[in-house]
Every structure is written in C-alpha cells, then in structure tokens.
Structure 1
Amino acid sequence: MRILVIEDEKKLCQIMKRGLVEEGYAVDTAFDGEDGRFMAEFTPYDLIILDVMLPKENGIEVVQKLRLKGVKTPVLMLTAKDTVEDRVKGLDAGADDYLVKPFAFSELMARIRALLRRDSSSKSSRLVVGDLILDTQTREVSRGNREIELTNKEYAILEYLMRHSNMVITRTMLEENAWDYQSETMSNLIDVYIKKLRHKIDADSEVSLIQTVRGAGYRLRAA
C-alpha cells in the first residue's frame, strides 16, 4: 500500500518514512503543502499523513482543497497543538483522524491500520482468500497450517492482491501501489516478485491462488 507523508520537519519526515517502509509500505514525501497537495491530486494513495503547520499551504487548506477536488483518500493530521478547537477545525476541514506530536510510532501505526480498515469492506485486521490468511496487525501470513515468511515487498504486493481479490490487477496498478516515486520499477521486476510469491504461497498446495491473466496482469482468487 502507498502512503504520502506531508511534513516540513525533514528529520521527522524521514523517521516516519523509514519506519513505514520497514512495515512494508511504499512511501512518498513532500515538505510543503503545495507540493503535497499536487502529489495527492494525481497519485492514488491509500493514506495521507498531513502536518498542520506547513509552508505555502497549511494542512487545513490542503485537506479542504483535496476534498473540494473529490479526493477521498483518508487523511491523518499531525499537529503540535493539543486543543479541542484545533482538532475540531481539522476534522471539519475533512481530515479522518488526528494525532498530536510528539507521538509513539506504535500509535501512529495503530491509527494507520484503523483508517485503512475503515476504508475497507472488512473491518477485521485479517484478510482471507480461500485458506490464505494475512493479518495486517501482526503481519503474519499463513496458508492452511503453514506459516509463510515474506519480504517487505512481497508482503506489500500480496496485501494489495488480497484487498482486491478476484479483480484483475495490472502491472501498472501494482507499480503504483507497491513502489514509491524514488523506486525504479520495471514490468519484469514485478513478474519476478509474483514468481517468488507464487512459489511461497502455492508451494505444496493443490490449488494455485495467484493466477496470470494473459495480456492483462494477475488475479488472486480462491477456487
């Protein structure tokens, strides 16, 4: 899944990015409101982490303009101000949740997971396709009684496929959701990851869950 962090404190921004990447997310960053809003308008992010105090356009202005443009991406606002009035102002502008600085990274992750579940048809942390189970909270993956160890990138791809099970997922869709702007991705690299995933997921199983749709992409579907 792909997250945009809009934060002008570069050290904090890089700390958040590093932590989110370690959790398996693709992360883009912007250091002012104007650049961040432009990126959010033209890229299909799963979540936006948005600071309130930003140069060029503050967080309130950014979220208001995004909502007016029809961008429905969940927004988690960050602020150093812990007053009811400030929280109400951000939520009324169109933010989905609020987190006060300084914060524990574990709480940031919990709020991210909650927002992503809110936008999902399933409110559980568990994604299930056939006998394949992925827990977004513990990051554990299993099929039947077999535990499956995945790299961060393999996990990100599998999570996206499971959230869109039965749909044909193109290579472009995978690239947009599992890689950030700084990553160099090629169609054959995606094929390599799918091959690795298929080996881990479908190994020793009679039913293949990851299907290749010739000329289109891939589909994760239970028999």
Structure 2
Amino acid sequence: MARILLVEDHDHIARLIIKGLANAGIMADVVERGDAAWSAVNQITYQGLVLDRGLPDGDGLALLQKLRRAGVTIPCLMLTGRDALHDRVEGLEAGADDYLTKPFAMAELVARVKALLRRPSVSHPPQPFFGDLMLSPESGMACRGDEKILLAPAEMQILLALVRKQGGIVRRSALESAAWGFSEAVTPNALDVALHRIRRKLAIIASELQLVNIRSQGYALQKNQLV
C-alpha cells in the first residue's frame, strides 16, 4: 500500500482526506504543523506529500522550499485556499508538483494523488546501507551480498530508521512512528514483535549486524563481535 504524508491542521478536512485516500488504497499519516512534517519526512520514507499552505507555524511553501533545498524530491500536491494565478505559480516554482485549491472534490484530490504516485522519481538516491546490510525500499528487500530477505512494510521502515543512524541509538517511540506513522493505533507489543522478526531475518542471511536493545535509551544496529 502506498504511504503519503498529509500536512493539514483542520481536523475535519484531514479526516475526510484520510478516508478518501484509504478507499483508494493509499495510507496517509497526518501531522498539523510544518516542524512535525519536517521530522516525519526525515524519519519515514513516503511516496507522496499532500501539503496545506496555511499551517499554524508558518507557510507550507516555506516548508516545501526547505525540503527541496535539502534534496528531498518527494512528489508534492499543495492545497490552498488561494486561487490567484500568481499563488499557483509561486507554489509550482517552490517545488510543488501539483496545486489544488479549496474547496475541492474528493474524487479530484484522489485522482491527483494517484497521478503523483505514478510519476517516476526525479532522482535515484543510493540504496541505504550499513555494515554488510543494504536495503531496497522499492522491492522491500534487505540484502547481504547475494543473500536476500523480504521485509514487511513496518520492518523495512524500522530498519531504514536504524540504518540511517549508522549504529546510533533510535528511540522506541521513533521506531514506532517510523513503522506505523503518527495516527495509526498499534498494540503495546507490536514493536517487540517486529523487532523479533527483524532479528530472525538478519540471522537468516548471516548478517554481521545485530539489533541491540540499549537499556532505557532505545535500539541500535551493532556489529556482532562473534562474526
């Protein structure tokens, strides 16, 4: 299932969009502020971004410009109540891939999001790796040399968060957000189950890395000293 980030501070509109996208097979994480969106994009791999221009902590346009300057090429649909031509031009020049004014028909929003998700990536960043482990988010695979394992979506997001830290510690709450987003309710032991599966899969491909619980701090990938 495709996963996007929705940045929208109006709860009613956000709930309608979530429902409309879910009916089309698209999962949406929701945040209300630009700073939360920046954090989410840097933690989780999204296939698309639906961004409201008017946010409580600033102009969504400034957030988009910041993302583009940082090299984030995630396709973006900008939502706004401003329908003047210069506003649309301004949004597109800031890096938006599409621009939809409010009020809008849900069918049109869903169609535009689907069109965004069909677009090829502007750039092809190198596959994330650490130690002897390489991740391929597009195929859902983790590899050690010629050995490969298939990861569930939540497992991939957890490993991505850990690999990006390059051996550093990731808090439990950050791993839960990476795996299931900010709006999806999860059971208390869901992360423990996912971590157990990841440990087992790393063992299957005989990775030199092991998933370590750093007491009271979080989790990290570390090289197995016995390898």
TM-score by length of 1: 0.63
Cα distance in 1 between the residues matched to 2:141 and 2:85: 37
Match of 1:174 in 2: 175
* 1:162-201 deviation per Cα after TM superposition (whole angstroms, max 9, x unaligned): 2222210111221233223231342x43222111101002
Cα distance in 1 between the residues matched to 2:79 and 2:166: 36
Larger relative contact order, structure 1 or 2 (CA cutoff 8 Å, min sep 6)? 1
* 1:29-57 deviation per Cα after TM superposition (whole angstroms, max 9, x unaligned): 47xxxxx34xx555732178335xxxxxx
Cα distance in 2 between the residues matched to 1:128 and 1:153: 18
Unmatched runs of 5 consecutive residues or more in structure 2: 100-108
* 1:37-84 deviation per Cα after TM superposition (whole angstroms, max 9, x unaligned): 4xx555732178335xxxxxxx33238715699896678233699997
Match of 1:97 in 2: 96
- Is the Cα–Cα contact under 8 Å of residues 132 and 207 in structure 2 kept in the other structure? no
Cα distance in 2 between the residues matched to 1:164 and 1:155: 14
- Is the Cα–Cα contact under 8 Å of residues 128 and 163 in structure 2 kept in the other structure? yes
Cα distance in 1 between the residues matched to 2:163 and 2:213: 15
Match of 2:117 in 1: 108
Unmatched runs of 5 consecutive residues or more in structure 1: 22-26, 31-35, 52-58, 118-122
2:155 counterpart letter in structure 1: E
Match of 2:148 in 1: 147
Shift of the 4–61 alpha-carbon distance from structure 1 to 2, 3 Å rule, reads closer
Aligned pairs, number: 193
Cα distance in 2 between the residues matched to 1:98 and 1:60: 14
TM superposition shift of 1:161: 1.5
Does residue 45 of structure 1 match 2:40? yes
TM-score by length of 2: 0.62
